[in-house]
Amino acid sequence: MALRRGVHPNQLYAWRRELASARVVGSEVSSFVPVTVASAAAETTGGGTVEIDVGGVRVRVTPGVDMGFLGAVLRVVKSA
């Protein structure tokens, strides 16, 4: 399933290891956010940009964004 979505299975294992180590260290509480697909047709924003809609707010993320920063932004948007 990962390959069909363009994600190499090794990336999934790396994410799983990162999540497990974050829980062990206890540096930050991790949580999963539900994801829905707006339509069956893919929309491209160009340049690998990802758009995340949270509570009526759209956050555009470009490649190379610091994941800690993105997590902080999403927590703020989610809590508003």
- For the chain, give the mean pLDDT: 74
Q: What is the mean pLDDT of residues 45-54?
A: 75
Report pLDDT digits (tens) over 16-44. Answer: 887 777 655 555 555 666 666 666 555 55
Of 75, 38, 45, 39, residue with least CA distance to 62: 45
Strand pairing partners for 57?
54
Backbone dihedral angles phi then psi of residue 13, each to the nearest 5 degrees? -65, -40
Query: Which amino acid does the sequence have at 76?
Result: V
Neighbours of 74 (CB within 10 A): 16
Q: Where are the domains of the chain?
A: 1-30, 33-80
- Kindly give the residue spans of alpha helices, DSSP state H, lying in 6-80: 9-25, 67-79
